[in-house]
Every structure is written in structure tokens, then in C-alpha cells.
Amino acid sequence: MKLADLDTPVLLVDLDALERNIARMRELSAAAGISCRPHAKAHKTPVIARMQMAAGAVGVCCAKLGEAEVLAADGIGDILITTPVVGPSKLMRLARVAAQAKVAVVADDADNVAELARAAQTGGVRFDVVIEVDVGQRRCGVQPGAPAVALAQAIRDRQWLTFRGLQGYQGSIQMTASFAERREATRKAHALLAESAEAVRAAGIPVEVLTGGGSGTSVIDAAEHGLTEIQPGGYIFMDSRYRRIEWDDGRTVPFEQALSLLAGVVSRPAPDRAILDMGLKAVSSDGGPPVPLDVPGATFGFGGEEHGQLSWDGKPCPLKLGDKVRFHPTHCDTTVNLYDQYVVHRGDEVVDVWPIPARGRVQ
């Protein structure tokens, strides 16, 4: 099939661009001598996770236990769950995942550590535990320094747990436009994580892993050597917003936009407008509206749950009923979560269809 033959709306992956993005991240991390543990929340499919691990990734990250369940069941063997898993039901599920794959989980609370130990003992497994340190995100995490030491000691003292290291994620700076400002914020985050690691080591507890970072700071994370592994997610697809930020003191963006959406024209209500079959249910809006491709002068606006609109502000619309228009989403992670499958293409040729089995796994 050709792309033009597809029913719309449909989620597309440019396989050539995806492969180049994976290779570029492998080169970036290998040159820096650090491990890459990409975030599966961006793609939610074992297909891409296997591609990343075949390219040298040491494992993957999952934001939610439900994602980890899907990947472990499909043979992905090394998973870090980057948010705390709390409550008896989820912890029993975690124990089942740990029986299928090597699993580490993040914690930032002593009561949760005790819960983890009880669940591990009940399930007859060991949990690797990584402490979340708040390095500026102001979301989850213990404060740097002494609180991290106290929690590391609590983990060490639990028979069914193994302390692995520390996580520090600064998501709020990933889209900072200025490269210099983003680099300075990254250095501060790395310093807080290093301070905590030094304090834990001073207490006689080994720190094997310092993990964190993201796609927007990946170039900086690699160059600064403040982490032992990086957790980029969106680099495989690239939100269109990443085109608006400076990369490496003004040099070109190191990754390509590999994800797009194809929408169809379903109405021509006015000479300067076209109505599309792609609305709020088909593309996320949390990062702003999607960016239309190959339709110069057009402005996109949402027309409700099922419809979008392209307008030319009084100038003639060049589209007719049935025409197809491609878009780049502003936020790939939340757009992917709306679809059951990717249609994969090289150029204009459809070459495969990949399921997205972890979509909607928010528990």
C-alpha cells in the first residue's frame, strides 16, 4: 500500500528516521561511556523496545507498572519502573513481573520500602530499588543528601530488597529553549544527585547506578558525565516542540521527527476552509495543536472531538474532499496513547503494522 491509500486518521512511523534516531542515541551514549535505558512510555510497544536493546540499550524504563507488565510478558528482560509502586494489589503484580524479568523500582518513602519488602517476601522474589531524589522537578523524590542516606539505609536493611542507586529526573527543563540555560539547570541537577551519591557512599553503601535525564538534555547529560545511564524517551519520534529549542550551542537537532499523523478532508464548507477527520480524540493537545505538513499558509484548529480544521484566512483552500494531510504532533507520548497500532512506512510505501499493547496501561 501507499500512504495515500490508508484510511484516516492513522498514526505513522517513518522507519528510516526511527532507525537513524536509535543509532544516533547509541552513538551519543557510547561516545560518553554511559549506558542508555530508553523510556518505553514514548512508544509503548515491545517492537521498538527490542530495536533499542538490539542497538545496545541496557534495558528500558516504564512510567507505569502496567507498561512493565506488557513488556515483560513479551520478553523484554530488564525494566526500571521510574515512579513509585504503592499498595498491596500493585505490589503483588510487581512481584509477578519480577518473576518474568529483571525489574527495578523507584521509591522515595520508608513506608513504601517496607511494603516492597513484604511483597517481595510473599512473592518469593527480590526487588532492586532505586531512590528517587528531587533534583528540581518538585514532583516525587526525597531531598538530596541526608534524606537519601536514611532511605538507602532502610533499603539495605531489608532482606528482600537490593539497593541499586539513585534517580534524578528534571523533566521541567527538557523544553527550555536556551541551550545555555538548559545546560546550567542540568548541571545543577547532576550536582544534587552527585551530592546524594557521595553521602550514601560515605555511609558505607555502594551506589551502582545514577540514572535520569531525558531527550531534551541528552546531549548535555552525555557530555557532563553526571550519570551512569540516561533515560531518553521522545528522541525516537521527536515532538515538534523540540524543533523550537537550541541544541548544542545552536547546532542542528540531533534527532529526526519520525512520528506523524495522516488525516483526511471530509468537508469543504467554505472556499478558504477544509474540515478533517482528526480531532481531540486522534491527536493530543497538551503541547498545543499539531503542525501541518506540505500545506503552505494553512492554520490548524480543533473542531471538537472528531474534527479539525485547516484555514487559509480568506485565500483559496487547495484541498478537495478525500485529500490527505500529514501532521507532526506536539507531544508524541500522549498522542501514541490514543492509538492501537502504528502503520510503518519507508518513504511512501507501507511496510508493516506494529501493535501498541501498552497504550492505556495507566495503572
The model's pLDDT over 173-198, given as tens digits with 9 standing for 90+, comes to 888 888 889 999 999 999 999 999 99
Quick one: average pLDDT of 302-317?
A: 95
**Residue 9 preceded by cis peptide, ω within 30:** yes
The confidence score (pLDDT) of residue 243 equals 82
Query: What does CATH list as the number for 15-239?
Result: 3.20.20.10
DSSP 118-155: HHHHHHT--EEEEEEB-SS--SS-BPTTHHHHHHHHHH
Residue 207: phi and psi, rounded to 5, are -120, 110
> Between the CA atoms of 17, 21, 23 and 24, what dihedral angle is there, to the nearest 10 degrees?
130
What's the pLDDT tens digit per position in 84-97? 999 999 999 999 99
Question: Is the pLDDT score of 248 beyond 80?
Answer: no
Radius of gyration from C-alpha coordinates of the chain: 22
- Amino acid, res. 242: Y
Quick one: average pLDDT of 222-235?
A: 93
Q: What does the alpha-carbon distance between residue 71 and residue 64 come to, in Å, rounded to a whole number? A: 11
Q: What is the pTM of this model?
A: 0.94
SS3 193: helix
The confidence score (pLDDT) of residue 362 equals 94
The confidence score (pLDDT) of residue 251 equals 65
What's the pLDDT tens digit per position in 123-176? 999 999 999 999 988 899 999 999 999 999 999 999 999 999 999 998 888 888
H helices of the chain, in order, are: 15-32, 46-54, 65-73, 88-98, 110-123, 146-156, 179-202, 218-224, 332-336
Residue 250: pLDDT band (50, 70, 90) is: low
Quick one: average pLDDT of 228-244?
A: 92
Q: Which residue did the predictor score with more confidence, 360 or 248?
A: 360
Quick one: average pLDDT of 107-131?
A: 96
Residue 11: phi and psi, rounded to 5, are -95, 125
The confidence score (pLDDT) of residue 176 equals 87
Write out the three cell numbers for 270: 467554505
Q: Which residue did the predictor score with more confidence, 162 or 242?
A: 162
SS3 57: coil
Q: What does the alpha-carbon distance between residue 109 and residue 194 come to, in Å, rounded to a whole number? A: 20
Q: Considering Cα of 76, then 80, then 86, then 88, what sign does the dihedral take?
A: positive
The confidence score (pLDDT) of residue 249 equals 62
Write out the three cell numbers for 221: 547529560
Say which range, 223-227, 256-260, 337-341, has the weakest mean pLDDT. Answer: 223-227
Beta carbons within 8 Å of 71's beta carbon, 6+ residues apart? 40, 46, 49, 60, 62, 79, 101, 358
Provide the mean pLDDT of the chain.
Answer: 95
All CATH 3.20.20.10 domain ranges of the chain, comma separated, are 15-239
Residue 253: pLDDT band (50, 70, 90) is: confident
All CATH 2.40.37.20 domain ranges of the chain, comma separated, are 3-10+255-355
DSSP 247-309: BTTTBPPSS---EEEEEEEEEEEETTEEEES--TTTS--TT-SPEE-S-TT-EEEE-SSS-EE
Alpha-carbon distances, residue 128 vs 105, 152, 174 (angstroms):
6, 12, 27
Domain over 3-10+255-355 is classified CATH 2.40.110.10: no
Quick one: average pLDDT of 46-66?
A: 97
The confidence score (pLDDT) of residue 170 equals 83
